[in-house]
Chains A and B, each alone.
Chain A
Amino acid sequence: MRYLRWSVPLLIGVLAAAGAPVALGAQGNLSQVVDDWEGRYEVARDNYQAAYQEWEYYESRWQQLMEEFGRTQAAEDERRITEILAQLQDLSQERDRAEGALRIRKDEWHDASEGLISALEARIELQVQQMERSPVGSNPDLLAVYNLYSARLDEVESETTTQLGPRRELELPPMPDLQIQPDDTRREVEFKIRNLQSKITVLEDLSSELDGEIAQLEKRQRWERTRDDLYAGVTGFDDVVVPVMPRSGATAAVGDTTAVDLALEPLETRIARLTGLRDSVLERIEQLQQKVEDFQREAERRP
């Protein structure tokens, strides 16, 4: 009985002593992961905010011109109407470009926030484990660190939720619903045509950008496949198996995986997704071109 009474605390002590260095090592490692993602998060947020400011500028300018256009139409000031239509046309392209860039930056910020949240959750979990191992109140620093990371987690979740909203897949902007009204003049129809043409230009730019991105991913995929070809070539017929020692224990390479990157899509999935998007863009361009032709025919009939 005497031995039993002492053996349990002794065993716990030994286990705690053995576990402490492991926990300390993991703590340092995870703190680095958190710091790493903090850096990415800051960069992504700053990029998004810069993109938002740019988009906001074009958007407010667009709204101002639209309001002025309404007033000028009522005043039947033909010269000013022409000027505003030209300005709107120029602005339309910039506004669409800014909107596209904003969507991309938003996506990147979402990625970074998900990474940081995962890293913080892991770090907090480790902190809780350490606190559970320590007697209550014995180490106030543990609680302070826990509070620090928890507060940061709340902050990040709140910041991303309020500023970004729920995550949405990269998708095409809605199709502009431009229709010819019965009382539209020829000039107004021509303005709508130019508007549609500017949308087509933006979509063509997007298509080229997607083509570039797809080509880059395909290049990387080709590279990786060629690497696999060499390895498969020399292992397929056991050319590298020599009579020295039995197959050693699994020595997996470092691997392209971190806690937060596990959610990353494989290359082929990314290629398929972007190809699908590019096809939708091309389809949209065709639809808009058809609409432009219809409008042009209609414009010729208008006074």
Chain B
Amino acid sequence: MRAGRLLPFVAICAGVATPAAADGQIRLRDFVITEGASLEGYLGNFSAITVPQIDSTERAVAGVGEVTVRGILRLMGRENQSVDVAFDGGIRQFATGGFQLRNYAPREHSGSMETTYQRLIRSGAVTAHTGARFRSISDRPPMPLYLSPGYDRYTAGVSYLHRGFLDLGVEGEIADYAAPKVLPALDLLDRSSLVVNAGVRKIYRGVGELDRNDYWGLRAFSSYSYHSYPQQGQGSPRIDHAVGAGAAFQGRWERLSLELTLEGTRSRSTSLRVEYNAARLNGRADWILGENTQVGLLGTLARKRFIQPGQDALVPGEEADNASILYAELTRHLGDRVSGAFRFGWQKVETNISGAYYTRFGGSFFLRVRPWN
């Protein structure tokens, strides 16, 4: 199944790449190798349907090592059109401690590739993209160490930005969790989605200067999402229809960059018990502290409320109601090609009804090398 889906994607990428390669325009825009080591702690008594392993502990720790490679290849770059391929792949190994049954050694493999075609036209820009993402995990541990299950995911979409202020987009997605025989519950997460979104934006820049790098802007957007879960529902598959609306702020100045996005979602379904209203606030900030030092912050606050009173049955993949996530990273550039970064991460995920939760926190060090900077 996996190979069968991979082949068309590779064919599409090759089809796009061939004429560009013939033009001799291929250029590596960015390439970075990252090596990292982390120490993490996990607390909580959370239960997830897709994590069948049970361990009575509510405290665990892990040492983590990882290597990733990421880059962007420009296959074609002309005055009014471009084709980029972004790729990202990595491996991460955990060595856990503190579990009652045994200490697990989960290993994650992750890879993604996305091809983006952009064309400037007189009235704006058209962007089309296709992407594939693969993730696998072996020796997946029980809670409170929550690691997402493995899956294959394919996306394709097209969007149009009109005159720089009106945008429209549609994206389709298929996610296959490829459940092994011993873990059939993962198939419940299989999903097909279609998301249509529209937005208006306004960018502001100082009139008195011609520096085009600094700006701030606002975007208001709305979306409609269709999610189909063929393995859920009794007799007929679960189908969700969600509408969302929100606003985003983005600013970039000489030493500071800031992004805030607030979005509300109203999800209704063929299965009444999974209907909910939700809100999510995403924030991202970057601050240049000095010649070679930079701080980055990334955070999310998510809140969800099921409509059905007394809804206490777990919904696969959506067992929690609230999430708070924060990552802070201090980067020091050690030359043109090498940088070191310390990252602190914290997240708490919890339910409204039972008070079950899990917390994940830890510190990491990363060494990043751009050999062809």
Contacts and interface: CB of A to CB of B under 8 A. Distances in A.
A94 to B, nearest CB: 24
Nearest to A255: B201
Contacts of B288: 223
B interface, over-half SS:
strand
B227 to A, nearest CB: 6
Contacts of A43: 207-210
Interface residues of A, number: 60
Contact of A243 (B32, B205, B319): B319
Contact of B250 (A111, A240, A254, A259): A254
A106 to B, nearest CB: 13
Given A122-B163, A259-B164, A242 B203 contact: no
A26 B219 contact: no
- Residue of A33, A227, A245, A268 with most chain B CB atoms under a 10 A cut-off: A245
Contacts of B329: 230, 233
Interface in B150-209: 157, 159, 161-167, 169, 171, 173, 191, 193, 195-197, 199-205, 207-209
A251 B248 contact: yes
A249 B171 CA distance: 9
Contact of B261 (A222, A251, A260, A268): A251
Contacts of A243: 48, 50, 146, 317-320, 349
A90 interface: no
Contacts of B90: 236-237
Contacts of A229: 32, 34, 331, 339, 341, 366, 368
Nearest to B287: A223
Contacts of A157: none
Contact of A251 (B135, B204, B246, B366): B246
A249 B282 CA distance: 13
Contact of A226 (B167, B195, B210, B296): B296
A248 B244 contact: yes
A108 B210 CA distance: 8
12 contacts: A26-B166, A111-B210, A225-B32, A226-B296, A231-B284, A234-B298, A236-B70, A244-B302, A245-B278, A249-B224, A251-B221, A258-B164
Contacts of A263: 120
Contacts of A262: 120, 124-125, 161, 164
Given A241-B148, A254-B203, A262-B125, A231 B298 contact: yes
A268 B157 CA distance: 26
Contact of A259 (B30, B68, B163, B276): B163
Contacts of B224: 249
Interface of B: 29-30, 32, 34, 36, 48, 50, 66, 68, 70, 77, 88, 90, 92, 108, 110, 120, 123-125, 135, 146-148, 157, 159, 161-167, 169, 171, 173, 191, 193, 195-197, 199-205, 207-210, 212-213, 215, 217-219, 221, 223-225, 227, 240, 242, 244, 246, 248-250, 252, 257, 259, 261, 263, 265, 267, 276, 278, 280, 282, 284, 286, 288, 294, 296, 298, 300, 302, 304, 317-323, 325, 327, 329, 331, 333, 339, 341, 343, 345, 347, 349, 366, 368, 370
A232 B323 contact: no
Given A243-B48, A253-B250, A254-B250, A220 B213 contact: yes
Given A227-B257, A245-B267, 13 more contacts: A30-B163, A112-B210, A223-B294, A226-B294, A239-B347, A242-B349, A246-B317, A251-B248, A254-B201, A255-B201, A262-B120, A262-B124, A268-B29
A185 interface: no
Contact of A40 (B124, B167, B210, B318): B210
Contacts, number: 227
A162 interface: no
A253 B258 CA distance: 11
A253 B219 contact: yes
A268 B329 CA distance: 25
Contacts of A231: 284, 298
Contacts of B225: 248-249
A4 interface: no
Interface in A264-280: 264, 268-269
Contacts of B34: 229, 233
A145 to B, nearest CB: 18
B318 A255 contact: no
Given A227-B286, A244-B323, A250-B223, A237 B317 contact: no
A29 interface: yes
A230 B285 CA distance: 11
Given A245-B267, A249-B197, A254 B219 contact: yes
Contacts of A241: 148
Given A230-B327, A248-B280, A236 B68 contact: yes
A36 interface: yes
B138 to A, nearest CB: 14
A44 B276 CA distance: 53
B246 A230 contact: no
A169 interface: no
A230 B124 CA distance: 30
Nearest to A268: B29
B296 A245 contact: no
Contacts of A112: 210
Given A112-B210, A236-B90, A254 B148 contact: no
